[in-house]
Amino acid sequence: MFLTFRWFGADDPVPLAHIRQIPGVRGIVSALYDVPIGEAWPRDNVQRLAASVNDAGLALSVVESIPIHEDIKLGRPTRDRLIDNYAASVRAIGDAGVRVLCYNFMPVFDWTRTDLAMRLSDGSLTLAYDDAALARIDLSRGSGELPGWAHAYTPDELATLLAAYRGVTDEAMWEHLAYFLERVVPAAEEAGVVMALHPDDPPWPIFGLPRIITDAAALERLLRLVDRPANGLTFCTGSLGSRPDNDLPVMARRFAERGRIHFAHCRNVRRTGERRFHEVPHPSTCGDVDMRGVLAALRDAGFAGPARSDHGRMIWGEQGRAGYGLHDRALGATYLLGLWEGLARP
Ligand SMILES: [Mn+2]
């Protein structure tokens, strides 16, 4: 394992120079944020991003993410051109030296919370999800009421998109994912890139939209769609850990032993009810995720890929992007480094 850190580009309030000072962090996880979804990523822009990271003494290790156009997820006829563009983007990141692509296959919304600033007893602010609170959100006014999605969709856009997904079953989503992977995995192989699908977050349907990447059986099915090493997983302990039926160390062992975990997101959650959880500090003692068990499984399997501390709380008065402040993620990184060092064989 080697440690990485997510960085949102030049607009990120956390500068690369600060990330460089976190012990053990060698890699950056980033993306191009100004390319419209569905268009091919310009090679020069990817090269410039990689160069700016190199100039800071770090390496662009992972691209997270190249978003997948909704027409691909919906299986529309326009998808072939969009998939060609996607493959071109994968080749562009491979040419820039990036070896891992983290992406997801969630319809309409990706990670979703109902509170971006829930106050914990220690005064820190964290991200929280409650299915009952989600049910009270009125999407007829667009995505404005959904925390973190204020400017994403107008009411008309959202209504059209939600209508398009009506009748799209889980099985249809699986078919659309297979169609995509059958065409993109070969391009990734040629480019020297491995694909690392991030589980759905939270891992259950929301707003009636299908969500299929939720548990061990789903991850198994995903790997079989295209049974090649370049079709692999981002093992996100926070996403998978918000379901009590996911045994994370067992899953980590099972998929890492087959060389199919390409990226680890390490985050801890506290489950407080049916489909209700909030994020907590990274150590195992702080929540329901057995982080030591997961890292021991990865260590035993010889995992040598990138890992990062996933979302952190807002602590010490830091202002910034919810889930992506510097301080708590840096604490998480040093915790992961210490765990890994303690687990290493002499
Ligand atoms: Mn994650």
Q: Is 253 in contact with 300 (CB distance < 8 Å)?
A: yes
Q: Is 156 in contact with 62 (CB distance < 8 Å)?
A: no
Beta bridge mates, 103: 197
The pLDDT, as a whole number, for residue 150 is 67
DSSP strand pairing (125-130 vs 276-280): antiparallel
- pLDDT higher at 301 or 148: 301
The pLDDT, as a whole number, for residue 15 is 97
Distance (Å, whole) CA 176 – CA 208:
18
Question: Is 153 noted as a catalytic residue in this protein?
Answer: no
Distance of CA 64 from the midpoint of ligand 1 (Å): 10
> To which residue do tokens 């959650």 refer?
269
pLDDT at 314 over 90: yes
Question: Is 324 noted as a catalytic residue in this protein?
Answer: yes
The pLDDT, as a whole number, for residue 142 is 79
Residues lining ligand 1 (ion), CB within 5 A? 236, 265, 310
Q: Which amino acid is at 58?
A: L
Question: Is 102 noted as a catalytic residue in this protein?
Answer: no
Q: If pLDDT is split at 50, 70 and 90, which confidence band does 346 have?
A: low
Average pLDDT along the chain: 95
Distance of CA 76 from the midpoint of ligand 1 (Å): 28
Q: Is the peptide bond before 15 cis (omega within 30 degrees of 0)?
A: no
Of 69, 176, 265, 278, which residue is the catalytic one?
Answer: 265
Whole-model pTM: value is 0.95
Q: If pLDDT is split at 50, 70 and 90, which confidence band does 152 have?
A: confident
Closest CA to 80 of 69, 92, 65: 69
Question: Is 311 noted as a catalytic residue in this protein?
Answer: yes
The pLDDT, as a whole number, for residue 345 is 67
Q: Does domain 2-127+168-343 have CATH number 3.20.20.150?
A: yes
The pLDDT, as a whole number, for residue 167 is 87
The pLDDT, as a whole number, for residue 182 is 98
Q: If pLDDT is split at 50, 70 and 90, which confidence band does 200 have?
A: very high
Q: What is the mean pLDDT of residues 224-247?
A: 97
Q: Where are the domains of the chain?
A: 2-127+168-343
pLDDT at 124 over 80: yes
Q: pLDDT (tens digit, 9 = 90+) per residue, 214-223?
A: 999 999 999 9
Distance (Å, whole) CA 261 – CA 247:
16
